Amino acid sequence: MSTNSAAQAQAAAQKSARRLPPELNIFLVLIGIALVYEILGWIFVGQSFLMNPQRLTIIILQVSVIGIIAVGVTQVIITGGIDLSSGSVVGMTAMFSASLAQASTWPRALYPSLTDLPFIVPVAVGVGVGLLAGFINGQLIAKTKIPPFIATLGMMVSARGISKWYTKGQPVSGLTDQFNFIGTGIWPVVIFLVVAVIFHIALRYTRYGKFTYAIGANVQAARVSGINVEAHLVKVYAIAGALAGLAGVVTAARAQTAQAGMGVMYELDAIAATVIGGTSLAGGVGRITGTVIGTVILGVMTSGFTFLRVDAFYQEIVKGVIIVAAVVVDVYRQKKRKT
pLDDT in the model for residue 126: 98
Q: Among residues 102, 56, 75, 59, which one has the least CA distance to residue 244?
A: 75
Q: Give SS3 for 102.
A: strand
What's the CA gap between 178 and 31, in Å, rounded? 38
What's the CA gap between 87 and 265, in Å, rounded? 6
pLDDT in the model for residue 16: 46
pLDDT in the model for residue 311: 87
pLDDT in the model for residue 53: 85
Q: Among residues 95, 254, 240, 224, which one has the least CA distance to residue 167?
A: 95
pLDDT in the model for residue 8: 52
What's the CA gap between 265 and 249, in Å, rounded? 17
DSSP state of 147: -
How many secondary structure helices (H) and strands (E) does the chain include? 14, 0
What's the CA gap between 81 and 61, in Å, rounded? 28
Side chain identity, residue 148: P
pLDDT in the model for residue 310: 87
**Taking the alpha carbons of 187, 82, 130, 127 in that order, is the dihedral positive or negative?**
negative
CB–CB of 86/240 below 8 Å? yes
What's the CA gap between 278 and 74, in Å, rounded? 10
Q: pLDDT per position in the chain (339 positions), as tens?
A: 444 544 454 454 455 445 667 788 889 989 999 999 999 999 998 999 988 888 888 888 889 999 999 999 999 999 999 999 999 999 999 999 999 999 999 999 999 999 999 999 999 999 999 999 999 999 999 999 999 999 999 999 999 999 999 999 899 999 999 999 999 989 999 999 999 999 999 999 999 999 999 999 999 999 999 999 999 999 999 999 999 999 999 999 999 999 999 999 999 999 999 999 999 998 999 999 999 999 999 999 989 998 998 888 888 888 788 878 888 887 787 777 777
pLDDT in the model for residue 61: 87
CB–CB of 94/160 below 8 Å? no
pLDDT in the model for residue 335: 77
pLDDT in the model for residue 13: 44
**Taking the alpha carbons of 288, 241, 295, 51 in that order, is the dihedral positive or negative?**
negative
CA-only gyration radius of the chain, Å:
22
Q: Among residues 60, 23, 93, 49, which one has the least CA distance to residue 260?
A: 93
pLDDT in the model for residue 39: 95
Q: Among residues 263, 288, 317, 277, which one has the least CA distance to residue 66?
A: 263
User: Residue 42 CB: number of other CB atoms within 10 A?
Assistant: 12
Side chain identity, residue 112: P
Residue 34 has, within 13 A of its CA and on its CB side, a CA count of: 17
